[in-house]
Structure 1
């Protein structure tokens, strides 16, 4: 009789415990590649410690907190991002008509709640459980999490929230109630990061949607080295200026 394969050990964290080295995360042959640990808490110090090491929480209702460090890592190289031609035209038109406004942090709670509850194709439920919502609201109040909001005709129609440590931005989730609204928010974030000399936006996991926007895979070892250099740097002032659109909307090399 054959025995079931033995799962690799998964560290259990008590509040205040340090994270294991990211190299100990489950590998590609394991049931959940990138899974590093379980347990712990979602308070501000723990989340800051996690993100500074390239670790993020991701779990569903009924599960303990699960901590991940994926390899490779999906990232956006901000200066390599090129707008699709149709999105460029949409943004130009909305700006010329005076209908589009990008705001930072004016409605963080609404953005994260929308990300948690907006229906997503092929998904039942959400990983942004109530405890995660409250944790990131506290992280926002501590100045470490931010919302990028697409307002059209005075209505909040899309956006995203992210984590910022020094010169590193970690994208979390987006929502959209109007065509292209979440993409506009992401491109606004890219424009802001360019203006602030922030080279990378972490997107955590490989998805076709992110690939279509210019996301690329980066080995975890390279990503970790970048974090060590970027996170100790001064954090930017989170304010969006319309001039930030200039280079992204005028440059050559657009995507079809």
Structure 2
């Protein structure tokens, strides 16, 4: 795939931020790979991929190298030079590397095994950082890191059919009906969740449906289908209208708030193809 002419200005805008952190390729001199949102190294690579840039192009090769340099022998990713390593960081790094073509790299295999080893009894993934205090809701896994982990797993031919992933899917489907904030990071399903956010950056209806559509056990579930009807109700002439985007991305044409987005609509159509594919099996 290559970048279409209409999105070349978006690519140039993203590339113009590559030194914002004080080093090249959207990072800092001490290699903080998720600092500088919404133009962190991981996020910027994802935008460029979404616009059609080839993973082998120099900027994306460099970002892949930076992420792989952060890989630890136990499978985790150290995305900051100091401090604890959280499961969400490992999930984000793994999902990004998978999109960059490393889904079946031996190092990622170790990462996937690590994630399976630390999967929680409720099916999800969580950390033990309680920024919002402790309560009954913090005993659950964190929905967003669980979604990101499933996004990584679905890209691996070796691990995408792991039976344990059905428990992770089940946890996210449970959250659709529970709705309340869950996990140490308090991810809930409310008005912000239900707004169409694009590109995929947070715990959001569109990203939720996109990832779950790759799992057959989700696509026939009434909770998934109910969520899909909510998204369908937001279409305009069959196109996705972006309802929420971080202001710093507002200059990018592919994700302009209140406008139809071709790349977002392509992701919606991919959801439908996934559902149809599972139904035909």
The answer to whether TM tops 0.5 is: no
Query: What TM-score results when the alignment is normalised by the length of structure 2?
Result: 0.30
More strand per residue: 1
Query: What TM-score results when the alignment is normalised by the length of structure 1?
Result: 0.32
Greater relative contact order (Cα < 8 A, sep 6+): 1
More helix per residue: 2
